């Protein structure tokens, strides 16, 4: 991901020591960071890890000491920094000697949360000193509220996922784990739920006071629900998140509650703008896929802004029902130049330079299987590959959407992971049948459906079996003579001969159209 650069020091300040802390920066903290990518142990083992020049900072996911040393040694350029959990002394020494800063990530931090936070910082210049007037920076709002209330602030969505937070020096365990992307201690969450705090926050935008609980290690807090008003005035506001203010060693400001009321209004406005307006990078990817105006952008300029090549073998993959940030994490770990965007409940991945289609399919199947196993998600994926350059990305995305639309109408007819070529016949037939109106349906078939549904079902199976009596009988679980009898009866009732190929085509389409 690329955006206008922020200094490494600014990036670390936004992430806060709760998530990551600097081990060493041999070239200082002013080097600009505008892009980040991920490397996992398989990338290093298979020699597929991206190198310097493809990004400014690298996240090393599960890369052991030997792999990290090997990757650093192979760099011909100098990345700004590497982010790694529990870096060993040899790794730090080798990186520093190469002029690469080392940032230690808290072992409990979730990589997908760190990816999301860094992405937000790079897109919205998340330095704590940034002004809030941009109306797009939740980090800036959190720090502004912290400065006014003298507390430590976190802003969460309706599912209690942390979206932004202020600097922390005295965070208690619940705040630390929430920022790291981990669930809070069960006894903490159980107590908060039993105390009715969540219910009160969801009910109305009123400040809730939470007292100190020494036995749980909880410090005093203030909280207010973030609510969005839409539709008729009589409709209850929609709960969209929470602002928490944890007290440290100093008391909170006298007007902290008043500040929180204003902060809740600002937070709702910022969240609404962020939801309605994709980031600059996401917008460029959407333009590439023909999903955003203008659709006649200069492809070369677009590719240059995204930092990818126009030519070469490309691929477009669509996911339905998957969280965009989780797909982005997996995609950029698979290919450092992967471009990801989402629209509604569909996530699109563009791979500008792809390996063999079989390798792409293997990654997609593995991702779908992992999300089903780990997050219990039921999703679909459609692969369009290989493409001749990025010029074909928009038409490929349109094809992916057609497969998703068809699968929505006939979920059993299309595999959960498929390609455009594999699904083409099913999709075309579905769309052809969908365009058949009543005037184009043989009225004899409609009468057969209404008066003799058993014969209509037998006729459909018989035609789908290419007139193979034995195959149709096996599917219907009846004797072949029964199928012969029913087919002869259909021919008599409809006054037609199924030996005529034109008759079979019209009848088959009419049968499908009357099934809808």
pLDDT of residue 278: 66
pLDDT of residue 134: 41
pLDDT of residue 228: 86
pLDDT of residue 322: 85
* Rounded Cα gap, residues 289 and 385, in angstroms: 14
Nearest to 383 by CA among 331, 338, 423, 425: 423
Pair 46, 20: CB distance under 8 Å: no
Q: How many residues does the chain have?
A: 516
> What's the CA angle centered on 424, arms 418 and 425, to 5 degrees?
120
In sequence order, which ranges of 318-468 are alpha helices (DSSP H)? 324-334, 357-375, 393-409, 420-434, 443-451, 453-464
pLDDT of residue 77: 81
Pair 384, 420: CB distance under 8 Å: yes
Delineate the domains of the chain, giving CATH numbers in brackets: 6-124 (3.40.1390.20), 138-276 (3.30.450.40), 280-434 (3.30.70), 436-515 (1.10.10.2840)
* Rounded Cα gap, residues 300 and 66, in angstroms: 40
pLDDT of residue 126: 43
Strand order in the sheet with 346-351: 339-343, 346-351, 313-320, 380-388, 417-419
Pair 81, 57: CB distance under 8 Å: yes
pLDDT in tens, 371-390: 888 778 889 999 999 998 89
Burial call 35-73: b when 16+ CB within 10 Å, e when fewer: bbbbbbeebbeeeebbebeebbbbbbbebeeebbbbbbe
pLDDT of residue 129: 41
β-strands 2-7, 32-40 pairing: antiparallel
* Rounded Cα gap, residues 44 and 452, in angstroms: 64
pLDDT averaged over consecutive 10-residue blocks of the chain (516 residues)? Answer: 69 82 94 86 72 81 90 87 94 95 90 78 55 57 88 87 79 78 67 83 88 83 88 69 91 91 89 73 86 78 82 92 81 83 90 86 90 83 93 94 92 92 92 86 90 92 91 93 93 89 90 82
pLDDT in tens, 410-422: 888 899 999 999 9
């Amino acid at each position: 991901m690329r955006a206008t650069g922020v200094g490494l020091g600014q990036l670390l300040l936004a992430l806060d020591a709760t998530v990551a802390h600097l081990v060493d920066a041999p070239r200082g903290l002013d080097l600009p960071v505008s892009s980040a990518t991920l490397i996992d142990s398989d990338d290093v083992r298979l020699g597929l890890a991206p190198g310097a020049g493809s990004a400014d900072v690298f996240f090393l996911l599960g890369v052991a000491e030997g792999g990290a040393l090997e990757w650093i040694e192979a760099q011909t350029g100098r990345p700004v920094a590497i982010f790694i959990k529990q870096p060993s002394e040899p790794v730090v020494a080798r990186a520093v000697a190469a002029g690469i800063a080392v940032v230690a990530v808290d072992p409990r931090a979730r990589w997908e949360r760190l990816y999301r936070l860094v992405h937000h910082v790079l897109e919205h210049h998340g330095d704590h000193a940034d002004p809030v007037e941009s109306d797009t920076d939740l980090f800036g709002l959190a720090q502004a509220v912290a400065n006014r209330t003298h507390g430590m602030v976190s802003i969460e969505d309706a599912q209690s996922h942390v979206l932004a937070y202020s600097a922390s020096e005295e965070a208690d365990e619940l705040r630390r784990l929430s920022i790291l992307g981990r669930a809070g201690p069960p006894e903490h969450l159980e107590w908060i739920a039993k105390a009715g705090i969540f219910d009160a926050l969801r009910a109305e935008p009123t400040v809730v006071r939470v007292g100190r609980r020494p036995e749980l290690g909880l410090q005093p807090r203030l909280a207010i629900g973030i609510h969005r008003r839409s539709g008729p005035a009589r409709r209850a506001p929609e709960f969209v998140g929470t602002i928490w203010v944890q007290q440290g060693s100093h008391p909170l400001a006298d007007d902290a509650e008043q500040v929180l009321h204003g902060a809740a209004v600002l937070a709702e406005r910022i969240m609404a703008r962020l939801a309605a307006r994709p980031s600059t990078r996401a917008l460029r990817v959407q333009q590439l896929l023909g999903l955003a105006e203008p659709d006649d952008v200069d492809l070369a300029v677009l590719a240059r802004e995204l930092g990818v090549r126009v030519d070469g073998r490309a691929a477009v993959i669509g996911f339905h029902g998957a969280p965009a940030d989780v797909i982005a994490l997996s995609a950029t770990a698979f290919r450092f130049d992967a471009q990801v965007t989402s629209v509604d409940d569909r996530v699109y991945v563009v791979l500008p330079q792809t390996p063999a289609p079989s390798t792409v399919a293997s990654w997609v199947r593995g991702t779908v299987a992992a999300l089903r196993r780990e997050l219990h998600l039921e999703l679909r994926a459609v692969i369009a590959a290989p493409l001749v350059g990025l010029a074909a990305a928009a038409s490929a995305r349109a094809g992916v959407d057609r497969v998703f639309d068809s699968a929505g109408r006939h979920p059993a007819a299309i595999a959960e992971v498929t390609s455009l070529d594999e699904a083409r016949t099913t999709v075309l037939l579905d769309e052809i049948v969908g365009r058949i109106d009543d005037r184009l349906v043989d009225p004899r078939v409609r009468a057969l459906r209404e008066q003799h549904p058993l014969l209509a079902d037998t006729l459909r199976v018989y035609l789908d079996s290419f007139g193979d009596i034995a195959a149709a009988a096996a599917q219907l679980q009846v004797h072949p003579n029964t199928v012969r009898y029913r087919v002869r009866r259909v021919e008599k009732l409809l006054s037609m001969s199924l030996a005529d190929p034109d008759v079979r085509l019209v009848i088959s389409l009419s049968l499908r159209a009357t099934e809808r």
